[in-house]
C-alpha cells in the first residue's frame, strides 16, 4: 500500500493524518492552539501507531503549505522536509485555497467558477479562482479589498468558500452565487487530491520548497 502523511499547521490548531489510495486511515487534531512545535512529532508517531505502520513505510509527505500562520507554516514544512530527508521520501506542497476549491467541486460539481477567499488581515484577503475542471483562472494571491472587486467574473454560476465578512461578498455583486462558510481543511477531499498528485508524480524539490506565504511579513524593531 502507498501511505501518504498529511501535515497541516496553517492555522492555530494542527492536523496530522495518514491516507492510502485516497482514503483516510488515521488522523489527529491538536487541541493545543499555537503549539505546533511542541506536539507535531508526537502526533505523527501516534497516527502511524494507530494503524500499526512505521514511518519508513510512508510513501510521501504532503503539507498544506499556506496561506496561513507564518510560524505554523514554517514548523509544518520544516518537519515535513526533515522527514523526507531522513526517510528519502518525496514531498508534495498543497495550497489551502486549491484544497478548498477542490472540496467544493467534489461536493457541488458543474459550477462555472470556484472562489476561495480567506481573510489575511483587515481589508486584505487571500484569493484564488478555479474553473469547473480545476484549471486556475486566478492564481492564489494576496489582494486588498479594493483590488478584489475587479478580479471576479460576476455573470456566471459561482461557488465561493470564504471567511470574509458578509458585506465584502455582497460587494462582489455576483449574480448566481452559493456560499460556503466552512474554511477548515477537509481530510476526505485532501486525501483524494493528494492521491491524484502522487500518481502524477507532482513532487517538489526539497531544497527549494517554501511555504505559500503570499503576503509580506511585517516585523517590528
Rounded CA separation 68/66 (Å): 5
Rounded CA separation 200/76 (Å): 23
For residue 111, the enclosing domain spans 96-180
219 in a domain, yes or no? Answer: no
214 in a domain, yes or no? Answer: no
pLDDT of residue 71: 85
Are residues 53 and 22 part of one domain? Answer: yes
Are residues 107 and 90 part of one domain? Answer: no
Query: Is the previous residue joined to 218 through a cis bond, with omega within 30 degrees of 0?
Result: no
**What is the value of pTM for the model shown?**
0.91
pLDDT in tens, 84-99: 999 999 999 999 999 9
Are residues 162 and 115 part of one domain? Answer: yes
Q: How many domains does the chain have?
A: 2
Are residues 30 and 83 part of one domain? Answer: yes
Rounded CA separation 8/158 (Å): 27
Are residues 80 and 58 part of one domain? Answer: yes
Are residues 90 and 154 part of one domain? Answer: no
Q: What are the backbone dihedrals phi and psi of residue 56, each rounded to the nearest 5 degrees, phi first? A: -65, -20
Are residues 147 and 162 part of one domain? Answer: yes
pLDDT confidence bin for 170, thresholds 50/70/90: very high
Are residues 134 and 87 part of one domain? Answer: no
pLDDT in tens, 42-51: 999 999 999 9
CATH number, domain at 16? 3.30.420.40
Rounded CA separation 90/88 (Å): 7
Cell numbers that stand for 211 in this block: 511555504
Strand partners, 119: 125
Pairing of strands 113-121, 23-29: unpaired
Amino acid at each position: 500500500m502507498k501511505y501518504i502523511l498529511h501535515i497541516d499547521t496553517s492555522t492555530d490548531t494542527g492536523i496530522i493524518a495518514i491516507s492510502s489510495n485516497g482514503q483516510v486511515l488515521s488522523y489527529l487534531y491538536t487541541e493545543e492552539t499555537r503549539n505546533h512545535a511542541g506536539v507535531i512529532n508526537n502526533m505523527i508517531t501516534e497516527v502511524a501507531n494507530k494503524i500499526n505502520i512505521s514511518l519508513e513505510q510512508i510513501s510521501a509527505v504532503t503539507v498544506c503549505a499556506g496561506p496561513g500562520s507564518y510560524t505554523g507554516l514554517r514548523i509544518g514544512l520544516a518537519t515535513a522536509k526533515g522527514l523526507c530527508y531522513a526517510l528519502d521520501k518525496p514531498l508534495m506542497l498543497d495550497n489551502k485555497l486549491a484544497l478548498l476549491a477542490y472540496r467544493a467541486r467534489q461536493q457541488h460539481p458543474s459550477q462555472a467558477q470556484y472562489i476561495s477567499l480567506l481573510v489575511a488581515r483587515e481589508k486584505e484577503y487571500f484569493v484564488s479562482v478555479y474553473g469547473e475542471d480545476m484549471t486556475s483562472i486566478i492564481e492564489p494571491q494576496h489582494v486588498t479589498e479594493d483590488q478584489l472587486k475587479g478580479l471576479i467574473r460576476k455573470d456566471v454560476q459561482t461557488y465561493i468558500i470564504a471567511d470574509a465578512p458578509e458585506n465584502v461578498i455582497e460587494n462582489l455583486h455576483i449574480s448566481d452565487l452559493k456560499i460556503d462558510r466552512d474554511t477548515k481543511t477537509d481530510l476526505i477531499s485532501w486525501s483524494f487530491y493528494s492521491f491524484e498528485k502522487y500518481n502524477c508524480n507532482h513532487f517538489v524539490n526539497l531544497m527549494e520548497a517554501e511555504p505559500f506565504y503570499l503576503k509580506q511579513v511585517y516585523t517590528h524593531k
